[in-house]
Structure 1
Amino acid sequence: MSIANKVAIVTGASQGIGAGLVKAFRDRGYRVIANSRSIKPSNDPDILTVAGDIADRAVAERIVREGVAKFGRIDTLVNNAGIFTAKPFTAFTAEDYAANIGVNLTGFFNITQAAVAEMEKQGSGHVVSITTSLVDHPVDGVPSVLASLTKGGLNAATKSLAIEYAKRGIRANAVSPGVIKTPMHPPETHGFLAALHPVARMGEISDIVDAVLYLDSAGFVTGEILHVDGGQSAGH
């Protein structure tokens, strides 16, 4: 199939990594279904925007249903939407827990289940989830229990999906970033955050976009957790 006919879903698509992914997929000729809670309609006829919270199953199902109705298929799903709440473990509230579980796990489950059901019909597809290197390399001074609980679950689910669907033409991979320079990190924190990585800089949005595009084109790669973290997971 030509890339011009391929269709990608990107969640968390209104800014940061998600917006970078939408642009990169369009630059490659993909048609894109872009979702976030507050995403605005696009002037590009090959971008379908669907606003809403993927923790709501009806929203996740609508993303896939409207995407198939407009473009006819789903080839790639990028689970980019996520919440990171940095608090000491005992300071987490029930609301913090519910919000992280809702987007990071329930949202993943809802949209991935709906997308994979469509991929099964065509006998091909690819799921990429954005997780975090903090799962396997926690950092002193960066409290991350809820991130590890939820994103660690996505790493494990990625491997399970990869094996369950390997013979059905559907691949599953994850990109595990270090700290990426996005609007969520104020400039005054950049020095501290850069020092968390052995390469002594923060990651750029383009670093993650390049990793996702690599995985999407790498037909013999499935079940991979690709660390894009400036050496953070390798050690200090």
Structure 2
Amino acid sequence: MSIQGQKVVVITGASQGIGAGVVAAYRKLGYAVVATSRTVAASDDADVLTVQGDIADPATAERVITAGIERFGRIDTLVNNAGIFVAKPFTDYTEDEFASVVGVNLGGFFRITQLAITHMLARGGGHIVNITSSLVDNANSDVPSVLASLTKGGLQSATKSLAIEYATRGIRTNAVSPGIIKTPMHPEEQHEALGSLLPIGRMGELGDIVDAVIYLENAPFVTGEILHVDGGQSAGR
């Protein structure tokens, strides 16, 4: 069980990149963490519970939420970070790629968020943070990304819908919309070219996205916000 009054966050896609950074940031805030991904390793921190599984499978969501409540007794925040990005011409996408991207980016959000909100309602409040993509607002001819726009765009719209649906019941819902960030997804030799796509002229750092998530966590008057952290990408070119 968590220390009395200790808040608890569930983080998907938590094994590397932005997810791992968010885990560390919430621990610094004193939160207990339930971290899930297909490859997340066991933690020697008693306040970090890891649950392996494919978030596209609703059974994984059930296991994660159940394990978190059994271990820590509560869930205060859910960070929907898990995501797949496949950039290719629209007519080249396969049925398997469509199923995979929709399964993680939308299906992975759907069930775990339902379960988390159900628990938050019983507790009287909570916070959802969704990680989307600036390509939703600013399509780029150099980065064909219809599946990202279809799924992360849906997530972005759902952010506002959830914020309004639960605004009077103590649950805030926000999103962070990253631009091109230095993560394991992008080999270092591509960094200069990718950075040149952004108005600010460089890629973002993992810490930029983590800081945005923590800002939203600590902003009780902010809900329904799509916080663009993208070097100006969503503003224009």
- TM-score, L = length of structure 1: 0.98
- Tell whether 2:43 aligns with 1:39: no
Three-state SS of the structure 2 residue aligned to 1:180 is: coil
Alignment-derived partner of residue 156 in structure 2: 155
Other structure's SS at 1:5 match: coil
Unaligned runs of 5+ in 2: none
Structure 1 alignment gaps of length 5 or more = none
Distance in 2 between residues matched to 1:64 and 1:179, nearest whole Å: 31
Amino acid paired to 2:118: A
Aligned residue in 2 for 1:85: 86
Q: Which residue of 2 aligns with 1:165?
A: 166
The correspondence of residues 215-234 of structure 1 with structure 2, limited to 5 A, is 215-234=216-235
Provide Cα deviations, 1:55-75, integer angstroms capped at 9, x if missing partner.
111110110011011111111
What is the deviation of 1:3?
Answer: 10
Q: Distance in 2 between matches of 1:12 and 1:92?
A: 23
Residue aligning to 1:206: 207
Aligned mates of 2:189, 2:180 — CA distance in 1: 14
- 1:141 alignment partner AA: D
1:82-104 superposed Cα distances (whole Å, 9 cap, x missing partner): 00000100100000100000000
In the TM superposition, residue 193 of structure 1 has moved relative to its aligned partner by: 0.7
Q: Report the counterpart of residue 68 of structure 1 in structure 2.
A: 69
Amino acid paired to 1:144: S
**Structure 1 runs of 4+ with >6 Å offset:** none
Change (3 A) 1:4 1:150: same
Aligned-pair CA distance for 1:4: 6.3
Which TM-score applies when normalising by structure 2?
A: 0.97
Instruction: Report deviation, 1:76.
Output: 0.6
Mapping of residues 1-236 of structure 1, within 5 Å: 5-236=6-237
Q: Provide closer, same or farther for how the CA distance between residues 25 and 3 of structure 1 changes in structure 2, counting only shifts above 3 A.
A: farther
Root-mean-square deviation over aligned CA pairs = 1.1
Change (3 A) 1:148 1:47: same
**Secondary structure, counterpart of 1:35 in structure 2:** strand
Kindly indicate whether the alpha-carbon contact (under 8 Å) linking 1:76 and 1:127 is maintained by their aligned counterparts in 2: yes
Identity score, percent: 66
Shift of 1:197: 1.1
How many aligned residue pairs are there?
A: 235
